[in-house]
Amino acid sequence: MESGELPEVCYPQANNSCRAPKQPPGQAMLIYVLLSSISIITVVLNLLVIFSITYFRQLHTPTNLLLLSLSVSDLLVGVLLMPVEIIYIEACWLLGDVACTLYYVIDYIITSASVANMVLISADRYMAICRPLSYLCYITNRTMHVGVSLCWLCSIAYRLLLLHDHLRKPGRSNSCLGECVVVISKVAGTVDLVFTFALPILVILVLYVQVLVVAFHHARGIRSQVGAIQAPRMVKKSELKAARTLAIVVAVFLLCFCPYYSPTITGKDTLVDATTVAFEIWLTHFNSCLNPIIYALFYPWFRKCIKLILTLQIFKPGCRDVSIFSNV
């Protein structure tokens, strides 16, 4: 073996060692640069979203609390999950079976929380547009804090239950030393498919169909120039615009997660390998980078917040109370 080459196996002294991952240098460098860029962008953009919503008082609304929760999960993807996958593109897993299992537990918890956040966002838009009076009465920052907390707690409990076999026996799916693999059985994969994908999609689609119906009637009302008596009952344009933007967020989410669940849909076991660059895994994580980009494209308030932050105007007295929605 020439000096500087990667070893043939992860643990030369062990008989059951995995072969060390190895890719052509040019291809490996391209992957490193691309994935590192995605990770950095994910962290920076989601930090901007989190800081904007927590700093500016005008953004302390129930809907934005859901966006804040979603951004926290996206930030955790960029901080905890993406770097690990980048490190092990051409390296054996050397952290042990326990760390491997914990990595996947964290991964699945974040994923479940993201899905739950999407459902809550859809329900929030449904209530705001289809049940505006009930929304004003029942949907407050306090109730939304409770909803978000339950979302994360249920995600943790659900994933610990689903992965209890791997927690009891870490490394049970590894075929050799230096590997970090979790295999989800067909039964567990089917349960996960129903509760983390199929059922949430069904709820989201039903809610957004109702929102679109109301939006359609609203548009017809504007075109027919509804009288002043009926005008107060119409949905505000800002609410419809927010619903459209969040619908795009949900649609992108579904596109990014569909390939991951394809093995379960076809009746196969789901294999997740941290020591390989799987397209399906990175596509699900890439969704965490796309969400804040969608906000920047469709939310004028987010663009204004970025401008205030980057120009350091946030250090001026009273900046927290500035009107974010004026002239945007």
CA 225 to chain centre: 40
Q: What is the mean pLDDT of the chain?
A: 78
Where b means 16+ CB within 10 Å and e means fewer, 193-205 reads beebbeebbeebe
What is the predicted pLDDT for the residue at 172?
75
Provide the residue type at 209 as one letter.
V
Q: What is the tens place of the pLDDT at every residue in 42-71?
A: 999 999 999 999 999 888 988 889 989 999
Give the per-residue pLDDT at 3.
44
Average pLDDT over residues 126-137: 85
Q: Give the pLDDT confidence of 253-298 residue by residue, as tens digits.
A: 778 877 776 665 555 545 554 444 467 777 888 888 888 888 777 7
* Contacts with 134 (C-beta within 8 Å, 6 or more apart), sequence order: 127
Task: Give CA–CA dist 236/244, Å, rounded.
Answer: 13
**pLDDT value at position 184?**
73
Predicted TM-score (pTM) of the model is 0.80
- pLDDT above 80: residue 159: yes
Cα–Cα distance measured from residue 71 to residue 53, given in angstroms and rounded to the nearest whole number: 10
Q: What is the pLDDT of residue 325?
A: 74
The conformational region for residue 3 under phi > 0 = left, psi -120 to 50 = alpha, else beta, is beta
Pairwise pLDDT comparison (271 vs 163), residue with the higher score: 163
Residue 228 has what pLDDT? 44
- Region 179-204: what's the mean pLDDT? 80
Residue with tokens 């789901």: 270
Q: Grade residue 146 by pLDDT with cuts at 50, 70 and 90.
A: very high
What does the domain layout of the chain look like in residue ranges?
30-321
Contact between 162 and 188 under an 8 Å Cβ cutoff? The reply is yes
| 30-321 to CATH, choices 3.10.20.340, 1.10.20.60, 1.20.1070.10, 3.30.70.2500 | 1.20.1070.10
How confident is the model at residue 204, as a pLDDT?
84
Task: Tell me how far CA of residue 186 lies from CA of 164, 198, 267, 312, in angstroms.
Answer: 15, 15, 7, 52
Q: Report pLDDT digits (tens) over 217-255.
A: 765 665 565 444 444 444 556 556 666 776 777 778 778
Average pLDDT score over residue span 193-199: 82
Q: Average pLDDT for residues 187-201, to the nearest whole number?
A: 80
Average pLDDT of 134-158?
90
